[in-house]
Amino acid sequence: MTRKDSGELKALIYLLDEPDEDLYNQVRDKIIAYGQDVINLLEERWSSDLEEREITRIEDIIDQVLLNKSIDGLNDWIKKEKKDLLEPFLILSAYHDPDFAFEEYKKSVERIIKDVWLEINDELTALEKIKIMNHVFYNVHGFKSINSNSTTISSYLLSNVLRLKRGNHLSLAILYLIVAQNAGLPLFGVNLPHHFILSYMEHGIPENTKENYYESRLLFYINPFNDGVIFKRNEIELYLKQIKLDILPEYFLPIENILIIKRLIREMMVLQKKNNNLKKFAGLKKLLTILD
């Protein structure tokens, strides 16, 4: 941002107490047009002694700037042929955190990926590869699950998972999956109700999914929320019986990464609605429509 632009932006920010709504909306639109550059200046202004109306307006503008950036990011991601999970996970975390250090957290994940990749080779069996993956992820880097009864929005954010080394059933599994896939392991998500697990596919995921392909390609399942424990189909069947759900094929089959991100958004929406944060709820709903 040039010195001239910075001066114009500061002047606009000082007009946020404009009582005329039409004039305020013009100011608001001009500020939002500056994009991410406005956030630091708005936060500085927000820390001053302001009236409630101006505080609310600043928070509204910051939220809209973050949403616009997230919309652009997801629109770019959806067009890519290879839809890696890391990019949308970063985007959704940044939407909830104005100070999100995008590149810093990306590099943190890449370091974990490298640590796993260096230990894995083609001579190892599938079980040996997962044993190494679990050792690096849980023992070397110290990731653990959090109490399922204390799930908050922060537990879904990559920044918190990396900083606190703790994640919920979905955020921890997504990070585990990002690391595994980028290290060359043929793991894929499985949309189990009230839980999220991973599947190890011997030859990767076929283009045309069929109900019985797990019998020929799927070696086993992995539960990242429980230290990467390995299990078989019969344990999923037992779980479904315990929670009184029909045993449907989709509860055993791998899904595409885009469906994982849709689930992440939906779970965030549930919490934002529960917290009565309707602005974030509406924003997440807009992001969800991009993936539909």
Mind listing the pLDDT tens digit for each residue in 27-46?
999 999 999 889 988 988 88
Q: What does the pLDDT read at residue 46?
A: 81
The CA–CA distances, whole Å, from 65 to 14, 39, 117 equal: 18, 8, 37
Instruction: Please state the φ and ψ torsions of residue 191, each to the nearest 5 degrees.
Output: -85, 75
Q: How many Cβ atoms are within 10 Å of 232's Cβ, its own excluded?
A: 11
Q: How far apart are CA 88 and CA 124, in angstroms?
A: 31
For 230-254, what is the mean pLDDT? 93
* Residue 225 near residue 173 (C-beta atoms within 8 A): yes
Q: How far apart are CA 133 and CA 173, in angstroms?
A: 13
* Res 208 pLDDT > 90: no
Q: What does the pLDDT read at residue 198?
A: 97
Q: What does the pLDDT read at residue 6?
A: 73
| From 38-42, 120-124, 164-168, 211-215, the region with the lowest mean pLDDT | 211-215
**pTM higher than 0.75, yes or no?**
yes
User: Please, where are the H alpha helices in the chain?
Assistant: 3-13, 21-33, 38-46, 52-78, 86-95, 102-117, 126-134, 158-164, 171-182, 213-217, 233-242, 257-274, 278-291
| From 98-112, 192-206, 237-251, 266-280, the region with the lowest mean pLDDT | 192-206
Q: What does the pLDDT read at residue 205?
A: 54
For 211-231, what is the mean pLDDT? 83
Local structure of residue 146 (DSSP, 8 states): P
Domain ranges across the chain: 3-68, 86-291
Tokens of 234: 């019969």
